Structure 1
Amino acid sequence: MVYGDRLIRVTGTPDGSFNLPPSLVVNKQPVTSGFTVIERNGEVVVATPLVSASVRFRDGNVRFTDANGEVDLEETGPGSFAPVTLDGKPFVATRQQFNRNTDEGLFGLGQHQNGQMNYNGEDVELAQHNMDIAVPFLVSTRNYGILWDNYSITRFGNPKAYSFVGEGKTSLRVTDEGGNPGFTAQYFLGDRLAAKRNEATVDYQYIDDQLKWPAEAKAQTVTATTGQNTAGNAVQTQRVIWTGKLTPGMTGLNRFRLYSSSYVKVFADGKEVLNRWRQNWNPWYHNLDLPMTAGKPVDLRIEWEPNAGYIALLHNDPLPEPDRRSISFASEAGKAIDYYYVGAGNLDGVISGYRQLTGKSAMMPKWAYGFWQSRQRYNTQAEVTGVVAEYRKRGLPLDNIVQDWFYWPEDQWGCQCFDAKRFPDPDKMVRDVHAAGGRIMISVWAKLYENTENFKELDAVGGMLRGMDTPSPSEPTTPEYIKASYRDWVGPGYRSGFYDPYNKRAADIFWRQVRDGIASKGFDAWWLDSDEPDFHSNLSIDERIRRMGPFAAGPAAALFNTYPLVHVDNFARNLVEYKPDVRPFILTRSGFAGIQRSSAALWSGDVVSRWDDLKDQISAGVNLSMSGIPNWTTDIGGFALESRYEKGERQHLPEWRELNMRWFQFGAFSPLFRSHGEAPKREIYEIAPKGSAMYRAMEYYDKLRYRLMPYIYTLGAETFHKDATIMRGLAMDFPADRKGWDVKDQYLFGPAFMVAPVTSFGARSRSVYLPEGSNWYEFNTGRYQGGGRTITAAAPFERMPVFVRAGSIVPTGPALQSTAERSDGSLTLNVYTGANGSFSLYEDDGTSRQYLNGAYSRIPVSWNEATKTLTIGAREGKYVGMQGTRRIGIRLYRPGTARPFALDGRADRSVTYTGQPVTLTLR
C-alpha cells in the first residue's frame, strides 16, 4: 500500500489473509492515486515520483529503489512465520532480514543503555524497561527508514534470544576448576569462605532466583532506607567469585550480556573487560563482545559484591559476518510481517516521513526549554516553594519545579489527592510558584492501591490489571515471598495494580480522577512515571507479561511495548479537551513509535551516578532523537547513587561534584535541561557553595541556557514546523563522513553546535572528532579549526568542549530569570563567518496552541561570505504580544581572530529592527 510519494507499506501473512486490526502507531491513511502499478520481468512494480517497490513473483522478495534507481533496501529471502498461541488466540512469531552484508550506518530503535551509536553489526532487544525505550523505527545513511509495526518484544540483529552460559543452548561450553561442566562458585562473608560449589550457570537474575542462594552464605540484611524494591542491605560484606574455562564451538565475535546490580568486575584471561555498578532495584544488561577461536578456551572470572543484588551471564554464538552486518527484525508475536519503507533525500527527510505516518511532533511550551529543578523528592509544600524562592533570591534562572511521588497519604497511592499535613494548600502552592514566574510539574502514576476508591471505580468497569496481587500456583506462599514479590516498597508494603489504558472507559475515568483531584489546582505539566508499566522491580519478562494481561485490546505479550503509547495518547487527548488552547507538557519514562504526537518528552529513566552511565546517555539520547522523538532529557547527575556518594563521604565529594558538573554541562546542551535524583540534594546551591568554581560554572551554564533561548526555542519549533531534530547524530549532517557514524560521545545540538561532553573523572582535555565538510570554532576560545580530523580539545573543569560550525548564525537574548519574564526583545546575532549561513528565528506566544492557526513570526537572517554582508530579512507573520521594534546587535567571529563567546559580549554593530529588511556590510 502507498501512503505518500515516499511511504510504502509491506504486509505479509502466513495464510494470505489481510484482515488486520488498525495500527496503534500509524494514523495516516493510504493514498489512492499518485502512483503506478505495472508488471515487468517477473515482478510487479509500485512506483511514485520518488520511490518504487518491486515484488518478485517467484518468491515475494521486495526491493526498494530511490528516484535514481539505486537500491536502498532489499529483503533477504522470504520472511518467516511460526505459530504462537497467546491466551488461547492464534498469533505468529515473525522475522524479516534485509540488506545482507551491508556497510550502511544504522540508527534509531529508541533509547538503549549500552553505548551503541551505529547499530550496524549490533544486537538490540526492543522490550520496554526502566531506562530502555523500544521504538521499532530504524534510519539508514542510505536515506531511508523502516518502521516495523509490531508491538511485541522484538530483536534487532541476532534473532535468537540470548541464553545462560552453561545452559547448553549455544556452542559455548564452560568447565569448572575440576574440568566438570559449569562454574566454580565461591561465596564469602567478609574474608571467610562460606560456601564453595559447582554451579551450572550464573543465574540470580530475578526475585525467584534468590531462593537458590546457599543457606550458609546468606548475609543478614537491614531494611533499605532509600531506593525501591530491594531486599534490604546486607549487614555483612558479601563477595561471590565465579571462575570457569569458556570453550567456544564457533570462531568469531562471541557476544555476552551480563545482567547485574551492585559492584561487578569481569576478567577474561586475566584482563579486566567489564567494571560496573548499578542499584539493586534496577539491574540491567552490560554488553561484552569477545573475539574467540573455536576450541581455544578463555579463562573467565566474575567478582561480584551482591549486597542482596542480582546477576546473570548470557551468551549468543557468532553470526556469519554477512548476517551480523545485516538488518533483521524478529518479533515474538503478531498477526503479520508489517512494515513501512520511508524514503527521502536525507535523514531529516526520513524522520519527516516517519512523522507523516505516526503524527507530527507537538510543540512544547517555551518554558519547557528552560531549567527544571527536581529531586526525589520534595516532602512538603514549603520545600517546593522554598526552592523556587531560593533560586530567585540567588538570581539563578529557573522555569520549572517538580513535585515527585508520595505527596499523598501513605496508604492512598492513586487517590489523586494530597497529604494535608505536608501539603496543606496545594492550590496556594501552585499559585505561589506561578507568582514567582515558575511552572510546576507533578508526578502521576498509572498505579493505584486496592484500598482506594479510585481503584474500586476502575475495577468495576474491568479497568484494573489484577495480576499484580495474584501469585501463580507454582510460587511460594510464605509471607516473606509475598511481600518481596507482590507488595510494593512503601511502609509495610501495599497491594496495588495498574489501570488498563486500552479500556477507553477506564482511561477516561482515570483522567477524570486526575482532573478533579490534581489538574483542577492549576498544575502545568504531567510526569507520567513508571509507564512501562513497572509493576515490580526484578521480575522476569514472562512474569511481567503475566501480571500485565490480558489487556482489553488483547494479550499482553502481543501488546507488550505499547502501554506507554496508549496511556500517554489518552492522557494528552484529555488534556487538550480540558484546556483547548493550552499546550500540554507530558514527561514520560517510556514510549513507543508515535508518542511524539502527544506532547510527550522522554527521559532516560533511573540511570546511576557513574561516569560510564553519563557517557551512555549520549548515544541513548541521539538514537532516541533519530527515532523521530525530539524532546528528551536525563536525570542530571544520575538518579541512583553508590553509598559513597549517598553518605557524603568526604574523600569522594570532589568526584561527586565533578560528576554533577560534567552532567550539568551536558544537560545545558540537551533538548530539555533537567536536574533530578536521589539524595544528596541536587539544587545548584546544595551541591556547591556560592563562590566556588563549581557554583560559578553551574551558574554560567544555567544563564547560558537562557541566553541561547532564541536559538533553542527555534529548534523546538522546527520539530513541529519542519519535522526537525534537536539532538543529532553526526551522520545526520555529515552522512558522507563514515568516521563520524561511529563516534559515540559527540552530537550536534541543532545546526550550529557540536557538543563533546566530558565523561571521565579528572579529565581536563578530551579527543574530539571534527567532521569533514565544515570548519569549526571552539565556542569557549573562538579558535578556528579545520574539519576532517581529530584534535585534543581543552576541557577545564568549568567548561565543556563545544564547537560552532562555520557559517552558523546563533541568536542570543538578554539575561532572564525565567521565560515568563518580559524582556525588551533585544537580540544578539552571533555570526560565525567562514561560510555562507542562514537562520530563521521563530517566535510565538510560547504557551497557547494558536501556532496551529498560524500565529507566529519568523525573522530570516543570512550571511554572505563572499560579500561579507548580513541580511536581516522582513519579518513574516504575527502573533498576540509580538515585539514590534527591537535592538539587534551583531557579533562577528572570524577565522583569523580567536574570540570566545561571552554572555555579555560587546556587539560589533547594532541596528533598530522594525520588521523591515536590513542589510549590513561587515568587513
Structure 2
Amino acid sequence: MQFTLHQENDTFSLLCGATVLLRHSAQAPCCFVGHGQESMQMYRGNFDIEDYVDERSALRELVLEQDAQGARLSFARHAGEAPQLVFEVHARPHGVHLQLAFAAPQWNRLWLRLPAEKHEHVWGCGEQMSYFNLRGRHFPLWTSEPGVGRDKSTHLTWQADVTARSGGDYYHTNYPQPSFISSQRYCLHAETTAYADFDFRHDDFHELQFWAMPESFEFMLADSFIELVGVVSERFGRQPSLPAWLQNGAMLGLKGGEAHARTILARAKEHGLAVSALWCEDWVGLRQTSFGKRLFWDWRWQPERYPDLKAWIPELAADHIRFLGYVNPYLCNDGALYQEALQHGYLATALDGGEYLVDFGEFDCGVVDFTNPAAAHWFEERILRQEMLDFGLSGWMADFGEYLPIDLRLANGVDARLMHNAWPTMWAEVNARAIERAGKTGDATFFMRAGYSGVQRHCPLLWAGDQSVDFSRHDGLQTVICGALSSGLLGNAYHHSDIGGYTSLFGNVRTPELFQRWAEMAAFTSMMRTHEGNRPDENFQFYQDEGVFAHFARMTRLHVALAPVIRSLAEDAVARGLPLQRPLFLHYEHDHNTYAIQDQYLFGPDLLVAPVHAAGATDWSAYLPAGDAWLHLWSGVRHEGGQRVTVAAPLGQPPVFVRAGCAQQDFLLGLAA
C-alpha cells in the first residue's frame, strides 16, 4: 500500500489514501521523549504501579528524507540539534510501518500522538471487559489479575482492596495488547512488551505512552471493517479450527472428586443434558485456603481423588465424552515436580541467583523459566505430554499466564519488566507446541485467560477469566460480552466464559437466575462450560434445582443444534479471521448507532444475540441494525432494522433475532423448537 508524505508550511502529514496517520508541526509535535522512574509492586497478581517523570521534552523539529526505498523521519528538540528519534517509513501490503532506527540512550519514555476525530470510535487494546468503545478514557496495558468488582464505587471492590489489594479497576485485564482499531478503518499496533498507556481522552489526538522505546509502529488499513479484521488476524496469526467434539454439548466443570463427577454425569444424562466433556481441574488434588478450594500445583494425577481415572477416561471416550484437566506454569514447592525442575535448573531465580518463590495465597511456587529452551521443552514433554496427553486428557485450562513477577532473573537475561507482558504468549506457545508434537492439534485443546500480542497464533480458545458471580456492571455477566467483542477484533475468534461466574467473596453468591441467564448467553458462543467456582459449597450449582437442571439441559441441546452454524463460523475464522461473536458494526458499518453497543452481538451474520444481564428482567430491549429486518426467534414477529425494540424475555427465551431472508432462516427459526 502506497503512503504519501505531505508538507505544507511547517505541518507534516503521513497519509495512506485519504487517512491521516501522523501529523506533526512545531506547535503541535507528535513525539515527546522523556525519562521516568517507575514503582511497581506485585501482590498475588495485582500490581501497584506509579511513575515519576523526571523530564518530558517535545521533539518540535522534524527533518524528512525520502528515496525510492521509503522515508526517514528524524525528530529533534530544536533546529540544528542532534536527532533524538529516527524512524524509517516503509510501505507494506496493507499499510505502512514506522521502524525505530535510532533513539537517544538517555530516554526511557516515549509519547506518540496520533490525529483523532471528535466523533471517532476506538476499539481493541486486547480483551477489555468494561468498555468496548475506548474513547474518553485511558487504558494502561499491563497483564495482571483484573480484580474483584473492578469498580471503585462499589462496596465489593472496596472490600477486596482493603483485604487483599485486589479490587481492580475498569482497565485491569488478563489480556492487554498495544493495538487498537479506529472507526477510520485502520489498526495501529506498537511492537513492544513494555508497560504502555493508551489515552483516548482528547478530541483531536490519541496519546500513546511507552516505558521503553517500541521497535516499530504498524498501521494496517482496509476499505471495510471485515477486511480490516482479516488483515489484523493474519498479522497476529490465525487460530486452529475448534475441535468438533466441543459442540457435542456442555463441558461440565466439576471439582469434587471422581465419585461426585460420576454422580453429576449420571444425573445429567437422566435430565437429557448434552455433555461434550468433563473438566475436572481437581485431578491434581486440592488444598484448602482462606480464598476457597485451591488446586495442588504439582501437575500429576492424584489417585486419592480420582482412583479409577485411568480406566474411566476410555470409558468416557466410548460415550463420546472427553476428559480435561488444569495446569499453570508454576510448581508448588511441596510437590515432586518442583524438586525435579529445581535440580535441573529450570526455574527462574532471585536476582542474586538464589531460589525464588512466589506467594500464591498460603502456598509458594517456583516459576518455570520458559526463556530457557530446555526448561520449556521439559515442561512440554514431562508435564503436558507425559502427565496429561499420554494419560488420556483431551485438553486443559492453561491458567495464570499474567503472573510473572518483575523482581526475578530469567535465563535470557532480559529485564522481567519487559518479559512480563510477553509471558502469556510464551505460555500459549508452550501449550500449543506440546499438543502439536503429540500430533493432536485440532483434537486436544486448551483455553487461556491471559494474552498479549501474538497469543492468537498459539491459543485456540480464550476464556474471560474470573468474573464475580453476579450481574454487576464491571465484573459480571455483561463484561464477558465486551471481552469477546474487543478481543475478537484483534484476531481471537473463539471466546467463552465460566457459566455463572467464578469469584464468590464477602457474601456475594451465585443465584439460580444468574446461572440460567449466563447459560442462555453461553449457548450462543464457541463453547459452553460450567464452573463450580472458588467456593462451590457456598454457591448455587445447576444440579441442585430440578427447574434449573431442565433449563440448562435445554440450553445445551440448543447449543448442539447450533453445531452446523458454529462449524461454518469456525471455518470462516480459519479462512478470514472473523470472530464468531461479532460487534454489530462489523456487518453494519453504515449504521453508526451500532458503534458503541457492547452488550449484544452478532453470532455470525445471521443471528443477533442480546443477552439479559440484569436480575428480575422479564422483557428486554435490543437494537436491530438498519438495512435488514429481523425475526424474533421465539415469536417469529418481524421487526424492521434501525430501531430499538422490546421483547418478552422469560427464562428460557433469551432475546435472539434471525436476519430476515438469510439462507438459513428456516433452520434458525427452527431452533425455537
TM-score using structure 2 length = 0.77
* Residues 1:74 and 2:22 are matched in the alignment: yes
Where does residue 328 of structure 2 map in the other structure?
445
Q: How does 1:614-653 map to 2 (within 5 A)?
A: 614-642=477-505, 644=507, 646=509
SS at match of 1:658: helix
Residues 409 and 418 of structure 1 are in contact (CA less than 8 Å); yes or no, is this contact kept in structure 2?
no
Query: Which one of the candidate residues 412, 415, 422 is aligned to 1:562?
Result: 422
Where does residue 152 of structure 1 map in the other structure?
194
Aligned-partner residue type, residue 522 of structure 2: G
Per-residue CA distance 1:538-565 (angstroms, 9 max, x = gap): xxxxxx4225x44625111122211010
Q: Which of 383-392 and 601-610 deviates more?
A: 383-392
Where does residue 543 of structure 2 map in the other structure?
686
Q: Which has the higher helix share?
A: 2
Residues 606 and 639 of structure 1 are in contact (CA less than 8 Å); yes or no, is this contact kept in structure 2?
yes
Where does residue 675 of structure 1 map in the other structure?
530
Q: How does 1:415-814 map to 2 (within 5 A)?
A: 415-460=298-343, 462-467=345-350, 487-489=359-361, 493-514=362-383, 515-533=385-403, 544-547=405-408, 549-550=409-410, 552=412, 554-579=414-439, 583-612=443-472, 613-642=476-505, 644=507, 646=509, 656-678=511-533, 679-680=536-537, 685-689=542-546, 692=547, 694-810=548-664
SS at match of 2:492: coil
**Cα distance change of structure 1 residues 153 and 624 upon mapping to structure 2, 3 Å threshold:** same
SS at match of 1:557: helix
Aligned-partner residue type, residue 210 of structure 2: S
How far apart, in 2, do the equivalents of 1:705 and 1:784 lie?
24
Aligned-partner residue type, residue 587 of structure 2: D
How far apart, in 2, do the equivalents of 1:586 and 1:469 lie?
35
Residues 102 and 322 of structure 1 are in contact (CA less than 8 Å); yes or no, is this contact kept in structure 2?
yes
Where does residue 229 of structure 2 map in the other structure?
351
Where does residue 328 of structure 1 map in the other structure?
207
Residues 118 and 203 of structure 2 are in contact (CA less than 8 Å); yes or no, is this contact kept in structure 1?
yes
Q: Which of 601-610 and 140-149 deviates more?
A: 140-149
SS at match of 1:329: strand
How far apart, in 2, do the equivalents of 1:80 and 1:59 lie?
18
**Cα distance change of structure 1 residues 557 and 750 upon mapping to structure 2, 3 Å threshold:** same
How far apart, in 1, do the equivalents of 2:366 and 2:646 lie?
53
How far apart, in 1, do the equivalents of 2:636 and 2:367 lie?
53
Residues 603 and 632 of structure 1 are in contact (CA less than 8 Å); yes or no, is this contact kept in structure 2?
yes
Residues 348 and 723 of structure 1 are in contact (CA less than 8 Å); yes or no, is this contact kept in structure 2?
no
Where does residue 103 of structure 1 map in the other structure?
119
CA RMSD of aligned residues (A): 3.2
Aligned-partner residue type, residue 499 of structure 1: V
User: Structure 1 residue 599: deviation in Å?
Assistant: 4.1
Where does residue 71 of structure 2 map in the other structure?
none
Where does residue 176 of structure 2 map in the other structure?
134
Where does residue 63 of structure 1 map in the other structure?
14
Aligned-partner residue type, residue 497 of structure 2: T
Aligned-partner residue type, residue 121 of structure 1: G
Where does residue 132 of structure 2 map in the other structure?
117
User: Structure 1 residue 149: deviation in Å?
Assistant: 1.3
User: Structure 1 residue 629: deviation in Å?
Assistant: 0.7
How far apart, in 1, do the equivalents of 2:425 and 2:555 lie?
33
**Cα distance change of structure 1 residues 674 and 58 upon mapping to structure 2, 3 Å threshold:** farther
Aligned-partner residue type, residue 748 of structure 1: L
Aligned-partner residue type, residue 406 of structure 2: I
User: Structure 1 residue 802: deviation in Å?
Assistant: 0.7
User: Structure 1 residue 421: deviation in Å?
Assistant: 1.9
List runs of 5+ in structure 1 lacking aligned partners: 6-46, 159-318, 473-481, 535-543, 647-654, 811-829, 832-890, 894-899, 905-923
Aligned-partner residue type, residue 787 of structure 1: G
User: Structure 1 residue 383: deviation in Å?
Assistant: 2.7
Where does residue 365 of structure 1 map in the other structure?
243
User: Structure 1 residue 643: deviation in Å?
Assistant: 5.6
Residues 284 and 297 of structure 2 are in contact (CA less than 8 Å); yes or no, is this contact kept in structure 1?
no
SS at match of 2:422: helix
How far apart, in 2, do the equivalents of 1:71 and 1:408 lie?
56
SS at match of 1:545: coil
Where does residue 298 of structure 1 map in the other structure?
none
**Cα distance change of structure 1 residues 402 and 809 upon mapping to structure 2, 3 Å threshold:** same
Aligned-partner residue type, residue 119 of structure 1: L
Aligned-partner residue type, residue 525 of structure 2: S
Per-residue CA distance 1:826-856 (angstroms, 9 max, x = gap): xxxx44xxxxxxxxxxxxxxxxxxxxxxxxx
Where does residue 407 of structure 1 map in the other structure?
284
How far apart, in 2, do the equivalents of 1:393 and 1:682 lie?
23
Count matched residues: 565
**Cα distance change of structure 1 residues 56 and 80 upon mapping to structure 2, 3 Å threshold:** farther
Residues 627 and 642 of structure 2 are in contact (CA less than 8 Å); yes or no, is this contact kept in structure 1?
yes
User: Structure 1 residue 117: deviation in Å?
Assistant: 1.6
**Cα distance change of structure 1 residues 711 and 468 upon mapping to structure 2, 3 Å threshold:** farther
- Identity between Structure 1 and Structure 2 (%): 20
Aligned-partner residue type, residue 427 of structure 1: K
SS at match of 2:316: helix
How far apart, in 2, do the equivalents of 1:702 and 1:469 lie?
53
Aligned-partner residue type, residue 526 of structure 1: W
Aligned-partner residue type, residue 331 of structure 1: F
**Cα distance change of structure 1 residues 524 and 90 upon mapping to structure 2, 3 Å threshold:** farther
Q: How does 1:264-343 map to 2 (within 5 A)?
A: 321-323=202-204, 326-333=205-212, 335-336=213-214, 338-343=216-221
Where does residue 98 of structure 2 map in the other structure?
none
User: Structure 1 residue 390: deviation in Å?
Assistant: 2.9
User: Structure 1 residue 121: deviation in Å?
Assistant: 2.2
How far apart, in 1, do the equivalents of 2:238 and 2:494 lie?
13
User: Structure 1 residue 103: deviation in Å?
Assistant: 2.1
User: Structure 1 residue 140: deviation in Å?
Assistant: 2.1
Aligned-partner residue type, residue 387 of structure 1: I
Aligned-partner residue type, residue 525 of structure 1: G
User: Structure 1 residue 628: deviation in Å?
Assistant: 1.4
Residues 746 and 757 of structure 1 are in contact (CA less than 8 Å); yes or no, is this contact kept in structure 2?
yes
**Cα distance change of structure 1 residues 111 and 468 upon mapping to structure 2, 3 Å threshold:** farther
Aligned-partner residue type, residue 404 of structure 1: E
User: Structure 1 residue 417: deviation in Å?
Assistant: 1.7
**Cα distance change of structure 1 residues 524 and 731 upon mapping to structure 2, 3 Å threshold:** same
Where does residue 392 of structure 1 map in the other structure?
269
Residues 512 and 542 of structure 2 are in contact (CA less than 8 Å); yes or no, is this contact kept in structure 1?
no
**Cα distance change of structure 1 residues 807 and 681 upon mapping to structure 2, 3 Å threshold:** farther
Residues 770 and 787 of structure 1 are in contact (CA less than 8 Å); yes or no, is this contact kept in structure 2?
yes
How far apart, in 2, do the equivalents of 1:109 and 1:644 lie?
33
How far apart, in 2, do the equivalents of 1:134 and 1:380 lie?
35
Residues 112 and 209 of structure 2 are in contact (CA less than 8 Å); yes or no, is this contact kept in structure 1?
yes
How far apart, in 1, do the equivalents of 2:232 and 2:392 lie?
34
Which has the greater radius of gyration? 1
SS at match of 1:429: helix
